[in-house]
Amino acid sequence: MSMELSSYLKAFKQDKLKTPIYKLGKSLFFDNRLSGNNNISCSTCHSTALGTGDSLPLSQGQKNKILTRNSPSLFELGEGGFQMFFWDGRVSFSRTEPPLFKTPVKEISGYYPQASHITRALKNPLGAQVLFPMINPDEMLGYKGENPIANFEEPLIIWEKITEKILAIDFYQKQFEVLYPDEEINIGHLANAIAHYITETFRADKTPFDLDRLGIKKLDEKSQRGLNVFQQNCLSCHSLPTTTAHSFANIGIPSIETIDKGLPGGIPVDFQFKTPSLRNVALTAPYMHNGAFLTLEEVIEHYNDPVKSLKEYDISRLNKKYRSVYGRDLKWADTPETIAYKVSTFDARLTLIKMTEEEKADLLYFLKYALTDESYLDRL
């Protein structure tokens, strides 16, 4: 490593100063007590060891229930450009004056939310997203009769009870007192601390691609060729430098277990999902909103011929790998009708994609080695 590069990376590490809010957010992120049954934390499904996901096609929640979607990676989500969360964008934020939150809970939505004490505590749109796993029975809350908090139905009350539970723990009470001596603590403060921790920790902004862009270290030739292939075929949705245009598209992904139509409303078409960031993507397999593809090679093949990839989808590859985890096979849920619909409506930009074998290999190399943060390269 050149001197210049190593001092640059060192300075970056020092940036992550362990401030009180960082420590608080970190403790909460790993704490099972944030869940109703004291058995599951954010890190259960967003594990640092597993690229901030759970390495499953479909995530597993309370009682090992198989959820309907893949646990997304958390890299870069705290960056200002990320203002829509979940695969269907159902939590979003607009920087208007006053700011606008759109969420499935009306009391924290709109320009003048009724529970403004919560939204005011959120310093980052990601914080609004963080509130939702806690009230989801499948994810963290647990089911009625299992724990006192899960017996409540109103999100505001559930959040209040979780806040009380956490503040009753001496360790947390002291930290909140130091951070907010004059404020009444609510769930927004908890979510804000977790969002702060995610923002500071799960960075992927020192990739070889960035070091080249910033003039610190030139990309190797193969990555440079891969970047050209990426710019020709992928840029319209995965714009650079962020690797996402923060938009939705139907790219003809096979449905697993359920017919999940993604973005509600189906305008102009169904099966649209959020275009995710591809930073650190080599660490976050399996891929897509339902983990339909095990490897980046499979993803590239899909883009090269989406009709064939969809029609000839082979779920046995997933089942071979995950049967023992789930205790059963996952099912490919598409019908001849959904396949015909997806083929006739998927995003026209896909039809422009055509890659030779050599280009595919270069693209794979770019995704793997040029989009992985320097601090994670040893995990490849």
CB of 243 to ligand HEC, least distance (A): 9
Cβ proximity of 271 and 261 under 8 Å = yes
Binding of ligand HEC at residue 288 (CB under 6 A)? Answer: yes
CB of 34 to ligand HEC, least distance (A): 6
Assigned token pair, 308? 């064939």
Binding of ligand HEC at residue 275 (CB under 6 A)? Answer: yes
Binding of ligand HEC at residue 243 (CB under 6 A)? Answer: no
Binding of ligand HEC at residue 234 (CB under 6 A)? Answer: yes
Among 349, 361, 368, 375, binds ligand HEC (CB under 6 A): 349
CA distances from 111 to 93, 120, 195, 298, 374 (A): 10, 12, 21, 43, 40
Q: Which is nearer to ligand HEC, 185 or 253 (CB)?
A: 253
Binding of ligand HEC at residue 125 (CB under 6 A)? Answer: no
DSSP classification of residue 255: P
Binding of ligand HEC at residue 101 (CB under 6 A)? Answer: no
Q: Are strands 84-85 and 91-94 parallel, antiparallel or unpaired?
A: antiparallel
Measure CA of the first residue to CA of the last residue in the chain; give whole Å. 18
Among 284, 330, 359, 376, binds ligand HEC (CB under 6 A): 284
CB of 71 to ligand HEC, least distance (A): 4
- CA atoms of 183 and 161, how far apart (whole Å): 18
Among 21, 26, 31, 46, binds ligand HEC (CB under 6 A): 46
Assigned token pair, 372? 């992985």
Binding of ligand HEC at residue 289 (CB under 6 A)? Answer: yes
Binding of ligand HEC at residue 44 (CB under 6 A)? Answer: yes
Neighbouring C-beta atoms of residue 103, cutoff 10 Å:
22
Q: Between 155-167 and 187-201, two packed helices, what is the crossing angle to 10 degrees? A: 80
Assigned token pair, 35? 């869940």
Among 162, 253, 263, 330, binds ligand HEC (CB under 6 A): 253
Using left for φ > 0, alpha for ψ between -120 and 50, and beta otherwise, residue 12 falls in alpha
- CA atoms of 198 and 127, how far apart (whole Å): 10
Residue type for position 118: I
CA distances from 365 to 208, 292, 294, 300 (A): 12, 21, 17, 11
DSSP classification of residue 155: H
Binding of ligand HEC at residue 287 (CB under 6 A)? Answer: yes
Q: Which is nearer to ligand HEC, 61 or 113 (CB)?
A: 61
> 127-156: which residues touch ligand HEC (CB under 6 A)?
129-130, 133-134, 139-140
Residues 54-93, one symbol each (x = binds ligand HEC by CB under 6 A, - = not), give -----x-x-----x-x-xx-x--x-------xxx------
Contact footprint for ligand HEC (CB under 6 A) = 34, 40, 42, 44-46, 59, 61, 67, 69, 71-72, 74, 77, 85-87, 126, 129-130, 133-134, 139-140, 194, 233-234, 236-238, 249, 251, 253, 273, 275-276, 278, 281, 284, 287-289, 296, 299-300, 303, 347, 349-350, 353, 363
